[in-house]
Structure 1
Amino acid sequence: MSVNPQLLSQLAALVDLNTNQPYGDVWQVQEDAAGLSVIVTLPYAAQTERDALKARVEEVAGQTVTLVLQQDIKAASTQGAASSMKGVKNIIAVASGKGGVGKSTTTVNLALAMAREGAKVGILDADIYGPSQGLLLGFAGDTRPGVRGEQFFVPPIAHGIQVMSMAFLTTKDTPMAWRGPMATGALMQILTQTEWQDLDYLFIDMPPGTGDIQLTLSQKVPVSGSVVVTTPQDIALLDARRGIEMFNKVNIPVLGVVENMSTHICSNCGHAEAIFGEEGGKALAAEYGVEELGKLPLSLSIRQQADAGKPTILSEPDSDVAAIYQSIARKVGATLASRSEQFSMPVIGMSDD
């Protein structure tokens, strides 16, 4: 068995398309009578990219290779003095400055895409007044979380995703007529008293705006990074800008911007039209020096699939739209890994005090 140092150097210089930076020291190369074996260990999940990466490695090597794609996802540093949460490595807040921009649909497809990449994923539906993740993931209306020891919720699971939502604790006819502190307290309770199981990423579907719930989560929950969803429309960009400013004030990295409802493509003639404006997300990302993670179309099928409890990643996993979600998921994981100082996840105790 031998190691090819020249090939190892060439692979280290290969650019990671998810970060636009060289891969660096993530490769192992072995060559013997059976052929050339290449092992790459990434700090984020990217299983759907394996075939494309294999082709790039073979181009560099000039021969057929056996590629083994591994992942080693670590807990990233978080803001302030917030302690790590048991059972969760990284918490990612998905936020928008205003409602109606498709944040919840983006969250569920992003979480499903991340799971498809090979990560262990959960969703916390933090919209106390209008929880929607139960519907989006096809849970029955009477779904309730399990309970362990009369102290911890055991989150229901759909498509491999652990999910917790206020919708599981109420009925569809029970409005949450609570003042801000009550809603915030309830959210913190279901977040900290849910028994999350070995998650690489917990996505928090944030309510719109920058009020009590957003500030409490930002200050008391160990959030590793945030994703801001907007449409290209000027009024949506104005509110999204406020969301980015809030995250900056509480030292939570903004991993990037997702531009939703970017263009509408006519189902009859195929004509593409930017109904809500053009390149708004790109301009917003450039203004704050963050990544434009992806652009999603204004699509009837995305809405229909979400309403039916079978989001695009499940309904059309090989579609162009699904590929966009997969790309966004990889970029979120890669950006978090590349921008954050890594540390070992501590184990914390919980008590009634």
Structure 2
Amino acid sequence: MTVVNLARDQDAGAQVAKHVRDALIMAPTLAPLPPGELSRALEERLAPPESDRADLEAAHWSLARAREALARFEYDAVLAHLDDAEARLLGTWPSPRWMALLSDLAFERGLLFMRVGLRAEAVRAFELVHRLDPERGALHPARHPPAIVAAFDDAANRIAAPAPVVRLAVTSAVDGAQVYVDGRAVGVTPHVVELSPGRHYITGTFADRRVAGRVLDIDVSMPRAEFALPFAALDSEDLARQWRLVVIAAPRVGDGAPALDITELTRRPIALADRDAVIAIADGADGTLYVAGFDARTQTEHPWAPATRVGVQRVVERFAELPRALTPDSVLAVAPPTESETVPWIRTTWGRGVISAGIAAALITGALLTPRLLSREVSGSCCTDITFGLGVGGGFSFP
């Protein structure tokens, strides 16, 4: 069975999910989804809605390292750090912070080109700075050399001047993908956009797909060009997280139990986990947590109930009462022992039988010998010779 945490209070929902998992383990005919990446993606606390935060932070630190390397004149290291930051950003959703970071990357790239005497390349990099951040003003002469200030101003003038455009046809394997040019939404695929010559960032987003981003150098010599967004499918764990974020973000209406259709709600986790039943955790408009379930095999729905210990137990018991054929993947599998993990003979059935028989024989022998030992007389000796029988042909004595 699959457990899904759809509570807005993710910490509280994760606690209930753990309780549901424990209750399923105790049920003889039920078992939760085996622990792993998918179960964690469905049950545990979600990352904040800005799911690309880690890549944005990594890009920020790569930019900082590039600046440090530029100050030490380590130009190869500068390029490596800038390329790493750019690659991370091209795989994340466009946002204001995304645009600011790419603008800073382009500026540092322009400074590097000026250092090595490539002024034309520097102006092209500075043009991208102005496209991404039109509000960025002129450079302060006291902070930058005159040559850099002049190159930056030339880039601004070229952006403002009329220029021939290139018609770029953007397509994708799935129609309807959102297209961004330099961080701004321009339409959905298939879409034709007019671009000025120079360096541009083309990004595409689509549900159930990874963000597709590329850098294109548009040349005026090609009046028309085509570009296909290279979308890649999300794995099941990322699909689960994306779906949960959408459901959690949906507004809660009404009073009491969540106004969510449990049958429709559980279709996605059933497909993702390849299991026939789901227990979902969600909260109502007032924040109270509830649990509900759906069994796809029998089309049986268990309506929302308060997520107390009693409520969780009742939902689990309702599932346990349903007729269900046990299959190898419906219970937690236990691998057979290997040669190095062979069960000791003392823990086997025949081993326990031998031990039990030995204990019984010892008790009977002791009962038979005790009267003889008590009736033995002590004669002509300072010490008593006491012999304890251990069975046939054995024993030990104390003189």
TM over 0.5: no
Indicate the structure whose relative CO is greater, using CA pairs within 8 Å and at least 6 residues apart.
1
TM-score by length of 1: 0.20
Structure with the higher strand share, 1 or 2:
1
